[in-house]
Structure 1
Amino acid sequence: MEVVDGFHADPDRVRHVVTGAEWTPLSGAVGAGALRTRQCFPTTEATAGLTALLGREPEFDAGADAFGFYTFVSAGSAAHTEADTARANWAAVLYLTPPHLCSGGISFLRDAETEAPEITMHVPIRFNRLVLFRPNRVPHRASAGFGTDPLNGRLTQVFLFN
């Protein structure tokens, strides 16, 4: 796992892509306030940053809608275990929530199938922080959402790839 603070040179530009995006319910999420963009918005900068971390270019199916989509989870949605782990060997989650609103993060779990899984590591949300990990090897859970829209709630950009 890698945690990179200051991933984008201009994260506000990346963040404001969502203002004109079309949103759809996020599959596998708990609560009505979990949404994802219908399309993906990968950038050359993000791909280059992931390439530098991996030592190779990320492999992804451009038609699979999994590399560079945004997610928004509102205050009405509970914490949930990520369900999309079978789709990719790698996941990168980029936090785009403004610093004064950051709350929660991502927890990595042991015994995720039990009623009380053990949290082995927690990475807090921080504006422009990228968390790169292997979702099919380590169970993980996002914390509860917050806010009422993508500009004041838990906003991430997600990259699923091999």
Structure 2
Amino acid sequence: MLPSVLIVDNFLADPMAARQAALALDYDPGFKKGNYPGLLSTRPLAIGGLDDAVAGLIGRPVRPQPGTSHGHCRLTLAREKGRSGVHIDPCFYSGILFLTLPEHCRGGTDFYRHRRTGLDRVPEDRLDMVRAGYDDPNRLVEEVVNQDTLKPSRWERSFTAPMRFNRLLLFSPWMFHNSGAGFGDRPDNGRLVHLMFFAAA
């Protein structure tokens, strides 16, 4: 069974080089296509051996998920808001590499429980789904995730995976989650992350 959450510190041998490369990418507001806060890099940041490293950590071969922003970086400054909140990811497994310097790190990635259903993820087991009042995962996603994404009173934060420079956070994409708030007033002190969305290889 895949781990629900896995945290690996000191993931890259040279994280400062990755950070500098991430900051050198273009974050064009015109490229923004999603509901996320902040700006996405217009091209991905390649990290050599990433697929194999993640496969070794979770015990399953992976590859980039087509149609996602896998490998792109996201920069979010203070007061930048998205058009969605709590969500799930369209992939087999998710990852975030934190590239914010230690002196600026705050928050992280938040995970939630839905108050009405008691669920903290889309159930993989059909019996768990039926217990929550659903017989179709698509209906559950629509009525729980999509309808309540921006309604904070519908959610209880379960825990936060804290941001730390060069920390890799891997987790099940079916868990209800959201990025922590943006911060800083310029790229070199803002929330800088490298995004990963994996498909099963």
TM bucket (normalised to shorter chain) is 0.7 to 0.9
Identity of paired residues, percent?
A: 28
CA offsets 1:88-117 (integer angstroms, 9 cap, x no match): 121100000000000111111011635421
Structure 1: which 5+ residue stretches go unaligned?
A: none
1:89 matched to 2:127: no
The reply on whether 1:101 has 2:108 as its aligned counterpart is: no
Larger helix percent? 2
| Structure 1 runs (4+) greater than 3 angstroms displaced | none
Question: 1:50 is matched with which residue?
Answer: 54
Q: For residues 33 and 164 of structure 2, what CA distance do their matches in structure 1 show? A: 22
Bigger Rg, structure 1 or 2: 2
What's the CA shift for 1:82? 5.4
Mapping 1:5-154, distance limit 5 Å: 5-23=9-27, 24-25=31-32, 27-30=34-37, 34-61=38-65, 64=67, 66-78=69-81, 81=85, 83=87, 85=89, 87-111=90-114, 113=148, 115-116=152-153, 117-135=155-173, 137-154=174-191
**Which TM-score applies when normalising by structure 1?**
0.85
Q: Is the alpha carbon distance of 1:8 and 1:60 closer, same or farther for their aligned partners in structure 2, counting shifts above 3 Å?
A: same
Q: CA deviation at 1:83?
A: 4.9
How many correspondences in the alignment? 156
Structure 2 alignment gaps of length 5 or more: 115-144
Q: Which has the higher contact order (CA 8 A, sep 6+)?
A: 2
- Compute the displacement of 1:61 (Å): 4.7
What's the counterpart of residue 156 of structure 1?
Answer: 193
The CA distance in 2 between the partners of 1:82 and 1:71, in whole Å, is 17
In the superposition, the TM-score normalised over structure 2's length comes to 0.70
User: Could you say what the CA RMSD is over the residues aligned between the two structures, in angstroms?
Assistant: 2.1
- Distance in 2 (CA, whole Å) between partners of 1:22 and 1:84 is 26
Task: From the superposition, tell whether residues 119 and 82 of structure 1 become closer, same or farther in structure 2 (CA, over 3 Å).
Answer: closer
Higher percent of residues as strand: 1
| Equivalent residue letter for 1:121 | F
